[in-house]
């Protein structure tokens, strides 16, 4: 009987202790079910592009998204267009050209009343063929060189030689240009009445020329073109000696009017004339 009472008391004490413990300590929270691999990949944040580069808990901002700028496409289009329009010519350093054409010359263009200049022995106007040649150097749009010309008229030939300055404007294979020139000029190889005394009449002077034209480059080193120019021609005719005057008077071919004008050749005279020329040209460029 006593043992039964003791056992019942111990059992009651244990139950009371468990009740008090459960009231003081809450039951542990239920553990969530484990996630699958796909769910874990979505749950974790993406790795930082800067790795472990952090200071004070702060990380640098992420890099800008890679990709070409918006204007890159337009720039490439413009480069392709320029390449198609380019003539393929590189820098030009040296040039040489030759040409031929027509020239008109007036010895008294600006002094029409100056009868004593030719004294009736030399034609004061001429029309004829002309040959031209030039060479020089080039720096971008500027050319500098020298040019020589010879024109063939019925009564005489005209020769000119001098420096030339040019300005070029490349437009693909086409190249307009403008030129300035000046130098020495003279008449020679006189025909007609005074041919019997080659040194009887001499006409020498200077010229100033302005012109322009257009060249077309068939290849980077070869061109064909056209050129036109106008000139101011200042000529002097020195007086001849008395012996030369008598020699001319003795020519049997002299007319009465020419014989009366021979004495005018003894006085030196100047005159201002003009010339116009148009030529075709072939050029080489290096």
The more confidently predicted of residues 91 and 211 is 211
Over residues 73-80, mean pLDDT: 67
Residue 204 has pLDDT above 80, yes or no: yes
Among 49-58, 216-225, 239-248, which stretch is predicted with the lowest mean pLDDT?
49-58
CA distances from 56 to 49, 62, 127 (A): 17, 17, 97
The answer to whether residue 239 sits within a structural domain is yes
CATH code, 152: 2.40.160.20
The answer to whether residue 62 sits within a structural domain is no
Over residues 78-105, mean pLDDT: 79
Average pLDDT, whole number, for the chain?
81
Q: What is the pLDDT of residues 107-148, one digit of tens each?
A: 999 999 898 998 888 889 999 999 999 999 999 999 999 999
Q: How many domains does the chain have?
A: 1
The CB density around residue 248, as the number of other CB atoms within 10 Å, is 23
Residue 56 has pLDDT above 70, yes or no: no
- What's the pLDDT at 98? 98
The more confidently predicted of residues 62 and 107 is 107
Residue 167 has pLDDT above 60, yes or no: yes
The answer to whether residue 207 sits within a structural domain is yes
The answer to whether residue 144 sits within a structural domain is yes
pLDDT band at 6 (very low <50, low <70, confident <90, very high): very low
The answer to whether residue 87 sits within a structural domain is no
- What's the pLDDT at 90? 75
The answer to whether residue 29 sits within a structural domain is no
Check: CB of residue 134 under 8 Å from CB of residue 148: yes
- What's the pLDDT at 50? 56
- What's the pLDDT at 277? 98
Over residues 160-182, mean pLDDT: 97
Q: What is the pLDDT of residues 254-277, one digit of tens each?
A: 888 888 888 998 999 999 999 999
The answer to whether residue 133 sits within a structural domain is yes
The answer to whether residue 234 sits within a structural domain is yes
Residue 213: give the domain boundaries.
94-285
pLDDT band at 253 (very low <50, low <70, confident <90, very high): confident
Residue 35 has pLDDT above 80, yes or no: no
Over residues 22-44, mean pLDDT: 54
């Amino acid at each position: 009987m006593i043992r039964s009472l003791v056992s019942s008391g111990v059992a009651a004490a244990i139950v009371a202790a468990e009740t008090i413990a459960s009231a003081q300590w809450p039951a542990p929270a239920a553990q969530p079910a484990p996630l699958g691999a796909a769910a874990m990949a979505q749950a974790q944040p993406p790795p930082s592009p800067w790795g472990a580069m952090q200071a004070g808990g702060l990380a640098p901002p992420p890099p800008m998204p890679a990709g070409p700028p918006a204007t890159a496409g337009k720039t490439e289009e413009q480069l392709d267009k320029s390449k198609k329009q380019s003539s393929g010519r590189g820098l030009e350093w040296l040039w040489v050209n030759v040409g031929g054409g027509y020239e008109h010359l007036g010895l008294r263009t600006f002094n029409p009343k100056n009868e004593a200049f030719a004294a009736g022995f030399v034609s004061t106007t001429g029309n004829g063929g002309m040959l031209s040649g030039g060479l020089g150097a080039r720096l971008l749009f500027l050319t500098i060189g020298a040019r020589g010309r010879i024109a063939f008229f019925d009564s005489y030939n005209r020769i000119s030689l001098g420096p030339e300055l040019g300005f070029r404007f490349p437009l693909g294979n086409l190249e307009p240009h403008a030129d300035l020139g000046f130098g020495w000029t003279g008449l020679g190889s006189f025909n007609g009445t005074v041919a019997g005394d080659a040194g009887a009449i001499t006409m020498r002077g200077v010229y100033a020329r302005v012109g322009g034209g257009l060249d077309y480059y068939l290849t980077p080193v070869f061109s064909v073109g056209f050129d036109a120019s106008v000139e101011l021609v200042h000529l002097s005719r020195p007086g001849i000696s008395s012996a030369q005057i008598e020699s001319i008077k003795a020519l049997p071919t002299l007319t009465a009017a020419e014989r009366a004008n021979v004495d005018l050749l003894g006085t030196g005279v100047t005159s201002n004339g003009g010339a116009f020329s148009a030529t075709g040209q072939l050029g080489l460029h290096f």
